[in-house]
Each structure stands twice: as C-alpha cells, then as structure tokens.
Amino acid sequence: MNILVLNCGSSSAKFAVLETTHGGELISGIAQRLGSPEASLDWKLSGTKGTRALPGADHAVALRAVVDLLRAHGLADALSGVGHRVVHGGARFSGSRELTAEVIAMVEECVPLGPLHNPANLTGIAIARELFPDLRQVGVFDTAFHQTMPPRAFLYPVPYAWYSDHQVRRYGFHGTSHRFVSQQAIAQLALDPADNALITAHLGNGCSCAAVRNGQSVDTTMGLTPLEGLVMGTRSGSIDPAIIGHMAKTLGASEAAILDALNKKSGLLGVSGLSNDMRTLEEAARGGHARAALAIEIFCFVLSKSIASLVVPLGRLDALVFTGGIGENSANVRARVIDQLGFLGLSIDPEANARHGREEGGRVSRETRPQAVVVPTNEELLIARDAAAIVAGSAAV
Ligand code: AMP
C-alpha cells in the first residue's frame, strides 16, 4: 500500500510517500520557511534531489505544490491513505485513529496541552482532507505510546486537582520513535517478547528516554510538554521550577519570555553560546572551545543520570537503544554515556561503536548483558504502517 505521510510544524511541512509492505520510500521532502519570502519545497526522488521556490507560501499553497509534485511523478493516484503525525493526543489517544470529524474534534480539545504543535498538525489535516477527499486520513500521536505508564510514573506530586480538573500530568513524546526502535531492538536482539526490559534514548534536536517493558512504555523523561527531561538542542530539560519566577523578577521579564528562553535559548545552545547542533559543538570542542565542551559534558551527564534512573521502573536492563540524529551519529556521545553507566554492566566496544551508526545500526557495547545498540529510527514508516492497517480495516492501532 502507498501512504502519504505528513508532519506539519508551525513553519514547515515534511512529507513522504512510503510503500508499506517493504518499507520503501518513493519520495520524501520538506516545505520550509513557510509564510516567508524564502519559502521553498525540497524533495528527494529515486536518489535525485529537487527544489522549488514558493515565495510567501503558507501550508495550503505548499501542500498543493506537494500534490502537483506527486501528480507529475504518477504517485498521487496510487495513494491508499494519508498518515498524519499529531504531537499531543492528551489522555484521549492510546493508539492511532482514523481522523473522522469526531476524532478531529478530540484533537482540537488537546490544543491547550500542545499549543506549539497541534494547531499546525490540524492545519495539515484540514488541507489534506480537502486535497484528498476520497482518501482516509489517520492520526498517529506522539503521546499515544506512553499511555501505558502507571500513575506513579505519570502523576506529578502537585495538588491532585491540577490533574483531575486540569489534566496536568506527564504525557511523554517521541512515542512513534520509541515504539519503532523498541520493536526493532526486541527483534534484532532476539529478546523474549513477553519478558524484556529496554531503555530507548531518542537523541535528536529534541531528546527523550523511555523505559519499555515487554513492548510497553512504563516511564519517560518528557512530561506535560516536551520541555521536561534531558538537555536538548535549545530546550533546558528539567530545572528547578522556581527559576522561572526568580528570573522573571530579576530581568523584569514576563513568564512567557522566560519560558521562551527555556524552549529556544537553552540546552546545548544556551550553555555553549555557540550552537544547538551537536556536530558543530563536537568540532568546536575538538578545536578548544571550552563552553562547547562543557555543553557536551552536561548533555552526557544528565542523559546518563536519566538512563540510570529509568532502570528503577524496569527492575533490570537488557538493552540500551540509541536513536535520533545524535544517538545514531555521535560515537562520542554514546561512548561517554556508556562509560558513565559502567556500573550497570555496560562496556563500550570502541571498534563496533565507530562502525555502527545511521547507515548500519548494531551493537556498540561489548556482548555482555546489558547491551547498547544503535537502531536508526523511522517514524515515517511506522506512521505509514499504522495508516495502512487502519485503511485495511483495523478500528485503531
Ligand atoms: P534530528 O533532530 O534527529 O535530525 O537530530 C539532529 C541532531 O543530530 C543535531 O544536533 C545534529 O548535530 C546531530 N547530528 C547529526 N549528524 C551528526 C553527526 N555526524 N555527529 C554528531 N551529531 C550529529
């Protein structure tokens, strides 16, 4: 089955057409800088790249350009459905669902929980329904995989009414990636599907870890929003919440301005003062940039502490899985983390760590238990497969 996968952000729209039986990607691309004079559409088709300027384009213009592109290559008529990445599904969705009018209304109800992401996701859904009125549309939620967390993991120790009346709880994100790589790792390491304990570390521009017991998320580092947890490219991760009031008062700034700084000017960028990009920081650190080196050190220290804490809900650890741009590509970050987790029995295999990465996943630690492995993530494929299953007749996945 050919499925169009759409991932709409506030100023971008990523797309891909995947063939779900063999997992082949027929075309992929991104429309970015939407709403600006520099808006453009870039794509990759059969190994060749293409680009088209779309000055001033919004999401609707960009998605129409995507449809033109698919038509020009004979891909539009062969589509069986559309799969949408939806960031926040609140406690409403524990699996993927067909986007009927009733389900879309439920996604709209989740906007207050995901104000930075859900409106763009909903825009993409509305436009795709107009452009493909005959195709079924499926929502795949970043939060859904973590709905199996027990209350001890998802409740914050705050006044209970904040949860019961205002839905304040930990939801977790990157669920599609954690689900995909945990399934792959269980198969690749030939673990008992009914008795296994994994920690998956999705380390991209956003970063989160999940504790996955027998294929189900039992704890995760992100919370009500994707701001909690690990140090990220521009997000602080967990900090003392009193810093918000303290800095608002000290700087005479609004709470919104402080939250903006925690989301967009913190993390690797904030500490290094240089970049949110791990590649840039590793290069700068090698050249003697002290704060780039410090940012990487804090990133790896917080990550190692978080991984160790996630062994508690699991009770034991069979494998640590690295994925995402940093997890798949940075042998340096993996080596530092595994070294700091030596007390769990993890031990780096420098040769395997240098060899395995995005191109070829695999073991990066010595063969003793627990093992550390790289599993390249493929969120688009999982979204396409969920959509295909629903189009083929499942009520939900
Ligand atoms: P993602 O959001 O999954 O695309 O990941 C983006 C992050 O991956 C950025 O911090 C990149 O610098 C990082 N990254 C990509 N390639 C490499 C590499 N070869 N070495 C280190 N970090 C990398």
Query: pLDDT for 170-212, tens place per residue?
Result: 999 999 999 999 999 999 999 999 999 999 999 999 999 999 9
Look up tokens 């700087």; give the residue.
251
Question: Residue 12's closest CA among 101, 109, 99, 85?
Answer: 85
The pick from 12, 271, 278 for probing ligand 1's pocket by mutation, whose C-beta has the most ligand atoms within 8 angstroms, reads: 278
Contacts of 74 (CB under 8 A, 6+ apart): none
For residue 276, report the distance from its CA to the centre of ligand 1, in Å: 10
CB 181 within 8 A of CB 142: no
333 CA: nearest ligand 1 atom: 21
278 CA distance to ligand 1 middle (Å): 6
Let me know how long the chain is: 397
Q: What is the atom index within ligand 1 of the atom nearest the CA of 202?
A: 3
**123 and 202 part of one domain:** no
**Is the residue at 175 inside a domain?**
no
Phi, psi (rounded to 5 degrees) for 286: -65, -30
Going by alpha carbons, the residue nearest to atom 19 of ligand 1 is 329
Task: Respond yes or no: is residue 195 known to be catalytic.
Answer: no
What distance in Å separates the CA atoms of residue 199 and residue 195, rounded to the nearest whole number?
14
Q: Which CATH number characterizes residue 324's domain?
A: 3.30.420.40
Q: With respect to residue 391, please indicate whether it lies within any of the assigned structural domains.
A: no
Spell out the residues 6+ positions from residue 164 whose beta carbon is closer than 8 angstroms to its own: none
Atom of ligand 1 nearest to the CA of 357: 19
> Within a domain: residue 172?
no
Q: Could you tell me if 199 and 128 lie in one domain?
A: no
Same domain, residue pair 103 and 202: no
How many distinct structural domains can be found in the chain? Answer: 2
Q: Which domain holds residue 137?
A: 2-141
Residues 197 and 81 both lie in one domain: no
CA of 105 to the centre of ligand 1 (A): 36
* Pick from 66, 57, 52: nearest CA to 14: 66
E-only strand ranges, the chain: 2-8, 13-19, 24-32, 40-45, 48-53, 79-86, 97-98, 136-141, 197-203, 207-213, 216-220, 319-323, 362-363, 371-374
- In this structure, the answer to whether residues 259 and 338 fall within a common structural domain is yes
Distance from the CA of 327 to the center of ligand 1, in angstroms? 8
Residue 218, SS3 per DSSP? strand
- The answer to whether 297 and 339 are in contact (CB under 8 A) is no
Digit-by-digit pLDDT tens for the chain (397 residues) are 999 999 999 899 999 999 999 999 999 999 999 999 999 999 999 889 999 999 999 999 999 999 999 999 999 999 999 999 999 999 999 999 999 999 999 999 999 998 889 999 999 999 999 999 999 999 999 999 999 999 999 999 999 999 999 999 999 999 999 999 999 999 999 999 999 999 999 999 999 999 999 999 999 999 999 999 999 999 999 999 999 999 999 999 999 999 999 999 999 999 999 999 999 999 999 999 999 999 999 999 999 999 999 999 999 999 999 999 999 999 999 999 999 999 999 999 999 999 988 888 999 999 989 999 999 999 999 999 999 999 998 777 8
Are 156 and 44 spatial neighbours (Cβ–Cβ below 8 Å)?
no
Closest Cα to residue 219, out of 320, 298, 145, 117?
145
Which protein residue has the closest C-alpha to ligand 1 atom 15? 325
In the reported structure, the alpha carbon of residue 59 is separated from the centroid of ligand 1 by a whole-number distance in angstroms of 26
Residue 326 counted as domain residue: yes
27/113 same-domain check: yes
Q: Is the separation of the CB atoms in 59 and 34 below 8 Å? A: yes
Protein residue closest via CA to atom 4 of ligand 1: 325
Q: Which of 42, 68, 77, 142 is catalytic?
A: 142
Query: Where does a domain end: 106, 141, 176?
Result: 141
Last residue of a domain, one of 125, 141, 157: 141
At which of 119, 141, 163 does a domain end?
141
Domain co-membership, 249 together with 330? yes
Strand 319-323 and strand 197-203: pairing?
Answer: parallel
Binding-site residues, ligand 1, Cβ < 6 A: 204-205, 233, 277-279, 282, 324-326, 329-330
Are 129 and 245 within one domain? no
- Dist. CA 182 → ligand 1 center (Å): 20
Query: Is residue 153 included in any domain, yes or no?
Result: no
> Is residue 224 included in any domain, yes or no?
yes
Angle at 1 between CA 76 and CA 98, to 5 degrees: 85
374 closest CA partner among 226, 216, 203: 203
pLDDT, tens only, 40-88: 999 999 889 999 999 999 999 999 999 999 999 999 999 999 999 999 9
| 224 and 355 housed in the same domain | yes
In a domain, 168, yes or no: no
Same domain, 18 and 104: yes
Whether residue 169 lies inside any domain: the answer is: no
Burial call 329-338: b when 16+ CB within 10 Å, e when fewer: bbbbbbbbbb
Count the neighbouring beta carbons within 10 Å of the beta carbon of residue 136: 15
State whether 228 and 313 are in the same domain: yes
> Are 127 and 219 in a shared domain?
no
| Ligand 1 atom showing the smallest separation from residue 324 Cα | 3
